[in-house]
Structure 1
Amino acid sequence: MEEPLLRSSLPVPGRTGGECLRDAGGDEAERAAAKVRRKLVLALLLAIIFMIVEVIGGFIANSLAIMTDAAHLLSDVSGFAVALFAGIYAAKKGGSSHSFGYHRIEVLGALASVLATWLVTGVLVFEAVGRILNPSPVDGKVMFILALVGVVINLCIMAILGGHGHGHSHGDEGHNHGHGHSHGHGHAHTHGHSHGEKHSHADHDHDHDHAGDVHSHAEEGHAHGGHGEEGGEEENINLRGAVVHVIGDLVQSLGVALAGALIWWKQDDPRFAVADPICTFVFALLVLLTTRSLLRDISDTLMERVPRGLDADAMQAKLEEIPGVDAVSDLHIWGLKPGMPLLACHLDIASESAACDVLSRATQLCRSVGISHSTIQLSHRGLPCCAEP
């Protein structure tokens, strides 16, 4: 059952409310996250070893198709590494210098991965053009054998990454959904001109005596680098993305095997060697297609675009429909990283007495559309701080 947004409770002596919540489900989430990391490490090692084998084999066979397959594998290696290190760093608090945590390390790593993959692929395409104009012999036998080994390796990686289930995945990277446990924090800060400032927390209460606006800060899943379900959830998202990339590698290895078999079958006919650079062109296009969505996500995050699947206009309309809300301004929705949307807005309310109800409804609305972290400021002309000079 979800914790109510506003309630009073006494903290356990010597322990914070957040620690109590983490104890309830954090251990299980940590075990799930550790299992995901072990899978990624094993998949990463296999991919690195075979990538090196493909580079060496590509030189021996004089095959650009094998080298292009290795370049595609480089993107997977980078993806595994980014997913692994992002999961580790996402669990660390950023401190005062990085108040949002280190979640965007994943975005920067993904950008470096895409650029490196495109650079290598571009060099191979340039070389393939030369092979079309001046064909050179290719060892079809080595090419075929390496491609078959690639099929086996990709199947092994799929087996390693598969079976991760949905036990702790309850978020989405755009549209993925799962089931699991929800342990979040709710914070509401209410400032009044005559009643002082009241902080009502889902875990504990603090009362202070100063006036100001009404602010709400609601967070679920420790979006700022805390420990909890969010880490395991995001790592499972990365795991699903890795499986998709491995499927692309599997298809590419099958294509190289067919081209290798054709060249091996007609080894004495140099005209069939053109199948190698043709495969390079096809696989280069495949690399572009498979990295396009990743580049889009990177661009969306760095440009702080409204996350896909969320409609800012519709969100503003829903906020305006909340009883007691007169106007909505300064609405901002962005993603700290793919799958981690945030919201900030300013709500003008009809009366000070409606503050808590508006605060609760607005926060619940955010959570209902998948926004786990929201910062909402409420203001009313009757408050001294909101009166016009």
Structure 2
Amino acid sequence: MAHHHHHETSARIGWAFFLNLTFTIIEFIGGVLTNSTAIMADAVHDLGDTLSIGSAWLLDRVSRKEADHSFTYGYRRLSLLGALLNAVVLIAGSVWILFQTVPRLLEPQMPHIEGMMGLAVLGVVMNGYAAYKLHGGQTLNEKVLNWHLIEDVMGWVAVMIVAIAMHFVNWPILDPLLSLLFTLFILFNVFRNLKSTVKLFFQAAPEKAITREVSDKLQQISAIASIHHLHIWSLDGEHHIATLHAVVKCESLDDYRSLKQQVADTLALFEFAHTTVEFELLGEDCRDAAASQSQSPSR
């Protein structure tokens, strides 16, 4: 049953990818033929969504592979590399659009109105159908990508409104203004997501307070004297890893078993994908102490 659900998820994301890719190509061609910078800017936006959907689709397929001797945590971390590459492509595309748009703000040119309207209708239909294919999906990938596609539909509604306005009023500056709005929206989202992606790429804690929260919760267990070497990082922003050393006070084997269960129950509250805990008795030397000292900056 789970395998069937996974296959359906992959099929839905694959459909959305090919629909978006096809229409992105049509957009770039249409943007040139209609002389519309707004359509070109939206084409860059759709290119970003196509890359995101493609990455999600690839990740969905690759993530089925079991961990091996080379990738001992599995392959989920590849999504961070995909996010970085997407950001680079979108920033480059947005800069190119800005170079096209700024001169148009100074000397506006009337685009081909009927062509803009036709592409807007096609954009609403194709992006709407792609959103419909992902509607009702249960995975986080499907839900996030569905919102991306709904954003695309709203973007094409905006293009339609501007095209209709220019059909009745000779305001060609509306086209580069809409292009500028699309481009700034793209860059805002890229830099917002890029910041969190880069932090995760360099193994920063996925949430600012999570390290303190884990330490405080564990030290509420009476048999734990202290916590050190607590490291929390994330594979892909969703699946987190925690490793730690705990100095413990146990007088019997039953105490030790009880302590292990309490630690397991406490860590389960945070829903980590993987946890590794090393117990050290009071007065016992930490085997990682020498390594920690060698990595500390020299004075």
Q: Please report the TM-score for the alignment, with normalisation by the length of structure 2.
A: 0.90
Determine if the alignment matches structure 1 residue 376 to structure 2 residue 271: no
CA distance in 1, matches of 2:71, 2:186: 34
Matches within 5 A, 1:351-370: 351=250, 353=252, 354-370=255-271
Greater percentage in helix: 2
CA distance in 2, matches of 1:313, 1:384: 24
Partner of 1:337, secondary structure, is coil
CA distance in 2, matches of 1:90, 1:63: 40
Partner of 2:225, secondary structure, is strand
- Comparing 101-110 with 290-299, which one deviates more in the overlay? 290-299
Q: Structure 1 residues 293, 51: closer, same or farther in 2, change over 3 A? A: same
In the other structure, the counterpart of 1:140 is: 113
How far the C-alpha of 1:134 sits from its partner, in A, is 2.3
- Residue-by-residue CA offset, 1:192-231 (whole Å, 9 max, x unaligned): xxxxxxxxxxxxxxxxxxxxxxxxxxxxxxxxxxxxxxxx
Determine if the alignment matches structure 1 residue 83 to structure 2 residue 56: yes
Which of 20, 42, 51 is matched with 1:69 structurally? Answer: 42
> Once the two structures are aligned, what percentage of the paired residues are identical?
24
In the other structure, the counterpart of 2:168 is: 265
Matches within 5 A, 1:24-43: 28-43=1-16
Greater percentage in strand: 1
In the other structure, the counterpart of 2:156 is: 253
How far the C-alpha of 1:35 sits from its partner, in A, is 0.6
CA distance in 2, matches of 1:310, 1:247: 33
Q: Is contact 1:94–1:101 with CA below 8 Å preserved after alignment?
A: yes
CA distance in 1, matches of 2:208, 2:134: 27
AA at the equivalent of 1:160: K
How far the C-alpha of 1:94 sits from its partner, in A, is 4.2
CA distance in 1, matches of 2:167, 2:114: 5
CA RMSD between the two structures:
2.0
How far the C-alpha of 1:50 sits from its partner, in A, is 0.8
CA distance in 2, matches of 1:341, 1:310: 14
Q: Structure 1 residues 98, 372: closer, same or farther in 2, change over 3 A? A: closer
- Residue-by-residue CA offset, 1:69-99 (whole Å, 9 max, x unaligned): 1110011111111111111112213422222
Determine if the alignment matches structure 1 residue 97 to structure 2 residue 73: no
CA distance in 1, matches of 2:118, 2:222: 69
CA distance in 2, matches of 1:313, 1:378: 19
AA at the equivalent of 1:327: S
Q: Which has the higher contact order (CA 8 A, sep 6+)?
A: 1
Q: Structure 1 residues 153, 357: closer, same or farther in 2, change over 3 A? A: same
In the other structure, the counterpart of 2:20 is: 47
Partner of 1:120, secondary structure, is helix
AA at the equivalent of 1:312: T
Determine if the alignment matches structure 1 residue 337 to structure 2 residue 236: yes
Q: Structure 1 residues 145, 352: closer, same or farther in 2, change over 3 A? A: farther
Q: Structure 1 residues 94, 370: closer, same or farther in 2, change over 3 A? A: closer
CA distance in 2, matches of 1:288, 1:385: 47
Partner of 2:28, secondary structure, is helix
Partner of 2:161, secondary structure, is helix
Structure 1, unmatched stretches of 5+, are: 1-27, 166-235
Q: Structure 1 residues 384, 58: closer, same or farther in 2, change over 3 A? A: closer
How far the C-alpha of 1:381 sits from its partner, in A, is 4.0
Partner of 1:146, secondary structure, is helix
Determine if the alignment matches structure 1 residue 158 to structure 2 residue 147: no
Matches within 5 A, 1:117-266: 117-165=90-138, 236-266=139-169
CA distance in 2, matches of 1:305, 1:352: 37
- Comparing 103-112 with 91-100, which one deviates more in the overlay? 91-100
Q: How many residues align?
A: 286
CA distance in 1, matches of 2:105, 2:282: 74
In the other structure, the counterpart of 2:188 is: 289
Partner of 2:235, secondary structure, is strand
CA distance in 1, matches of 2:12, 2:50: 13
In the other structure, the counterpart of 2:199 is: 300
Structure 2, unmatched stretches of 5+, are: 290-299
Q: Is contact 2:28–2:40 with CA below 8 Å preserved after alignment?
A: yes
How far the C-alpha of 1:241 sits from its partner, in A, is 1.0
Q: Is contact 2:34–2:112 with CA below 8 Å preserved after alignment?
A: yes
How far the C-alpha of 1:255 sits from its partner, in A, is 1.0
CA distance in 2, matches of 1:373, 1:364: 14
- Residue-by-residue CA offset, 1:258-310 (whole Å, 9 max, x unaligned): 111122223xx4xx111111001100122123334432331231121222275
CA distance in 2, matches of 1:157, 1:380: 58
CA distance in 2, matches of 1:46, 1:114: 21
